[in-house]
Amino acid sequence: MKFAYYPGCSLEGSSLEFNESVLAVAKTLGIELVELPDWNCCGASSAHHVDKFLSIALPARNMAIAGELGLDMAVACAACFSREKHARHELRADPELKSRVEEIIGKKLNLDHQVRHMLDVVVRELGIERVREKVARPLKGLKVACYYGCYLVRPPAVMEFDDPENPRIMDDLMRALGADVRDWSSKIDCCGGSLVLYRIDIAEKLVGGIVKDARESGADAIVCACPLCQSNLDIRQRPGEGEERMPVFFFTELMGLAMGLPDVRSWLKKHITSPLKYLESVGLVS
C-alpha cells in the first residue's frame, strides 16, 4: 500500500508532532508514504477568501505531482484535505477550468487519482482489524471525545468522507485501540480555527463551548485529526475554577501510544497543554 503523502505547512511547523506520529504509525502498519516532491501550500482559507481561481490552482499543482507519481494522495491535515477535495470537485465538473489551470501550473492533471485523508487510509483502506493486531497496550481508562470539526465532513458532496452530522470513523478507531469513547454533541461544531489570527474572541468562545461539552460528556481528553483544530483547542481553552486543562491529542499519537511506539513522549511534550500528567494518572505512561 503506497500513497503520495502531502503533509502541508502546519505539519512542518506548529504541528510537527502530527507529522512525526503519522510517519511512525504508517511505518508500523506497513503503509508506504512517499512525500510529494516539491509540494506547495494548498492556499488554506486565505486563497478562497480572495480568489477562486487561485484557491483551485494551488492545490491542483499538488494533485498533478501525485498524478505524475501515479499514486493516490494521502493528506494528514484536514484543512489541506478539504482544499484539495474542493479543487478536485471543481476541476472534475469544469473541463474548461481544468485546462486553464493546467496551463498555469504547466502540468497535466489526472483526476482519476483519489485524494484521501489519513484517517480514511488507516480505517477504510488498511482496515481496523489490521490496526487492532498491532495494539500492544490497549488504552484502558482513557476517556475521549472524538472531534471532527468542519473540514473533514462538510460539505458532504465534496468531502465524501462520513455522515456529516454524526461521523463515526474516528470513534471506531479509538474503540479499536481500547479507549472509552464518549458520545457527545459537539463533534462537528466549528472551533473557529480559521479566525484565530484576527478574531480571537470568536475562536475562544467556540473553543470554550467545545471543551465544556467534552467535559460534560465525561471525557478527559479530546482527539483530533486536524492541526488547526488541535492547536486552537490546545492553546485557546480557558479552564474554569478548579478545572484542569484538557489534553488534545492527534489520533495518530494515540495510535502510537497503543502500539507502544518509542517516540510518543517526544510528540506529547510538544503540546502546549501537556497530556503527560493525565496519562500518568491513568497508568498509560510511566
Partner 1 sequence: MTVRIKNTDYQVDAAFAREIGKMCNAHAERCYQCMMCTAGCPVSYAMDLKPHQVVRFAQMGLKDLVLNCSTIWLCASCETCATRCPNEIEIVRVMDALRETAIREGIEVPEKAARAFHDSFLKVIRGRGRISELGLMTRLKWATGEMFSLSGRALADMWLGWRMFVRGKLKFFPKKTEDRQVIERMFERLDKETPPPGKGAG
Contact set with partner 1 (CB under 8 A)? 9-10, 12-16, 38-41, 43-54, 57-58, 61, 104-106, 150, 154-156, 164, 188-190, 192, 194-195, 197-200, 202, 206, 235, 269-270, 272
Nearer to partner 1, 202 or 243 (CB): 202
* Amino acid at residue number 36: L
**Separation of alpha carbons 190 and 194, rounded Å:** 10
Least Cβ distance, residue 125 to partner 1 (angstroms)? 25
Nearer to partner 1, 31 or 87 (CB): 87
Helix (H, G, I), strand (E, B) or coil at 65: helix
Least Cβ distance, residue 57 to partner 1 (angstroms)? 5
Cell of 31: 503503509
Cβ neighbourhood burial of 165 (10 Å; 0-12, 13-18, 19+): exposed
Least Cβ distance, residue 52 to partner 1 (angstroms)? 6
Cα-Cα end-to-end distance for the chain: 34
Helix (H, G, I), strand (E, B) or coil at 205: helix
Around Cβ 127, how many Cβ atoms within 10 Å? 12
Nearer to partner 1, 246 or 258 (CB): 246
Nearer to partner 1, 34 or 104 (CB): 104
Least Cβ distance, residue 208 to partner 1 (angstroms)? 12
**Separation of alpha carbons 237 and 248, rounded Å:** 10
Cell of 185: 454533541
Helix then strand then coil, in percent of the chain rounded to 5, is 50, 10, 40
Nearer to partner 1, 124 or 270 (CB): 270
Least Cβ distance, residue 109 to partner 1 (angstroms)? 14
Nearer to partner 1, 103 or 280 (CB): 103
**Separation of alpha carbons 259 and 176, rounded Å:** 11
Cell of 37: 516532491
Least Cβ distance, residue 104 to partner 1 (angstroms)? 6
**Separation of alpha carbons 175 and 128, rounded Å:** 10
Nearer to partner 1, 101 or 284 (CB): 101
Least Cβ distance, residue 8 to partner 1 (angstroms)? 9
